[in-house]
């Protein structure tokens, strides 16, 4: 496999943090209730008019600065989001234009929370074929658009009043999902290299039979028109989630895939320096960590501060750990994730 390395990273989260207590202004919840079930204390939300490409732009500019390169050295963009600026076109082209990278190929991928793993396979192919030398990989999400409340001034603390019983009831109907997600972007600059770095081994899987364990029921092109007048009243723009089934999938599939990957790569679990996992739920990650026998210090987590930022979680985590000086050249890291689709996988990466 062709060698490639991380030469720059950056992250961006919008606005001020919104705590679990802040959410209690518009729904029946509490800090204790949310934290016990997810490990989340706070998250950030994109402002009105602020899309995934705007968050991605900030993160990308920071990654470019960190890499110490001119943006024009980037010859390929891979953008991952499940909350694009438009139904179409994808946000990759929009980001490329904002960065001034006119004519540079820009690809959108839709593996949701598992996008980082699939993206590594794509990048390996691009480097191996010589199609690219410097790739900007971005995960960015603006989940605020599907939150089940209208009283944003209460959530952000800009106003103080009682929410209407009807509005609280609507929000409560989606409480289990709404408390999990936050907004943000992470960007990584990858470059081809002759040193021993890059993808060691990777396993990815998809099982579409379970697509409706996490999906948005409204706005699809099975109907004419694709958005009907009553869909908003039915809250069809808000995802439906079978949290119990997703939990079961994650704690079953991820440890199994990680063990299989190590066996195929002839690498012992204890030889892996870092386990960089998607940040969906602290309980899931702790279970996976315990199943693999990985010490806590090898699996950093930040879900308490950001919530689930979907495709952005691993890039944000990598930027944090890297800027703390913990990621060193030559180390072996495993990235692992499961996302809506259902897509899941693990990747061994030599830094």
Q: Which residues of the chain have pLDDT under 70?
A: 1-2
Residues 161 and 214 in one domain: no
Residues 245 and 154 in one domain: no
Residues 112 and 212 in one domain: no
Instruction: Check which CATH number belongs to the domain holding 73 and give it.
Output: 3.40.47.10
Residues 208 and 325 in one domain: yes
Residues 246 and 325 in one domain: yes
Q: Verify whether residue 278 is a known catalytic residue.
A: yes
Residues 170 and 265 in one domain: no
Q: Verify whether residue 113 is a known catalytic residue.
A: yes
**What pLDDT shows up at residue 1?**
45
Q: Verify whether residue 143 is a known catalytic residue.
A: no
Residues 135 and 245 in one domain: no
The one catalytic residue in 44, 308, 343, 346 is 308
Which of 192, 209, 226 terminates a domain? The answer is 192
Residues 20 and 136 in one domain: yes
Which of 174, 192, 210 terminates a domain? The answer is 192
Domain range for 53 is 4-192
Residues 134 and 250 in one domain: no
The one catalytic residue in 278, 281, 285, 346 is 278
Residues 173 and 251 in one domain: no
Residues 130 and 10 in one domain: yes
Taking only the tens place, the pLDDT of each residue in 84-114 is: 999 999 999 999 999 999 999 999 999 999 9
The one catalytic residue in 113, 174, 262, 343 is 113
Number of domains in the chain: 2
Which of 177, 192, 207 terminates a domain? The answer is 192
Cα angle 2, 81, 233 (rounded to 5 degrees) comes to: 160
Residues 123 and 43 in one domain: yes
pTM of the full structure: 0.96
Taking only the tens place, the pLDDT of each residue in 176-233 is: 999 999 999 999 999 999 999 999 999 999 999 999 999 999 999 999 999 999 999 9
């Amino acid at each position: 496999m062709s060698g490639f390395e991380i030469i720059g990273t950056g992250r961006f989260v919008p606005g001020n943090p919104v705590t679990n207590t802040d959410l209690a202004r518009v729904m029946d919840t509490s800090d204790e209730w949310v934290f016990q079930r997810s490990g989340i204390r706070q998250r950030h939300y994109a402002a009105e008019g602020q899309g995934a490409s705007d968050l991605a732009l900030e993160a990308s500019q920071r990654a470019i600065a960190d890499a110490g390169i001119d943006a024009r050295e980037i010859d390929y963009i891979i953008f991952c989001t499940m909350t694009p600026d438009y139904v179409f076109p994808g946000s990759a082209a929009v980001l490329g234009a904002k960065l001034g990278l006119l004519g540079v190929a820009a690809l959108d991928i839709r593996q949701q929370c598992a996008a980082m793993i699939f993206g590594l396979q794509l990048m390996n192919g691009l480097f191996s074929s010589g199609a690219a030398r410097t790739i900007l990989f971005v995960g960015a999400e603006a989940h605020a658009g599907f939150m089940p409340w209208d009283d944003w001034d209460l959530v952000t603390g800009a106003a103080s009043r009682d929410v209407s019983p009807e509005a609280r009831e609507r929000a409560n109907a989606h409480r289990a999902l709404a408390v999990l997600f936050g907004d943000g972007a992470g960007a990584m600059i990858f470059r081809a290299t002759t040193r021993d770095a890059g993808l060691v081994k990777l396993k990815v899987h998809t099982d579409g039979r379970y697509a409706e364990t996490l999906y948005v029921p409204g706005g699809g092109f099975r109907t004419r028109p694709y958005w009907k007048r009553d869909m908003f009243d039915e809250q069809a723009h808000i995802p439906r989630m079978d949290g119990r089934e997703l939990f079961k999938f994650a704690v079953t599939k991820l440890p199994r895939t990680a063990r299989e990957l190590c066996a195929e790569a002839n690498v012992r679990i204890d030889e892996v320096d870092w386990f960089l996992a998607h940040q969906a739920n602290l309980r899931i990650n702790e279970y996976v960590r315990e199943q693999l026998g990985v010490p806590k210090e090898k699996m950093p987590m930040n879900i308490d501060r950001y919530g689930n930022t979907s495709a952005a979680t691993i890039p944000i985590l990598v930027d944090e750990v890297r800027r703390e000086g913990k990621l060193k050249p030559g180390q072996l890291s495993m990235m692992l994730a499961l996302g809506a689709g259902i897509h899941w996988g693990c990747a061994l990466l030599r830094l």
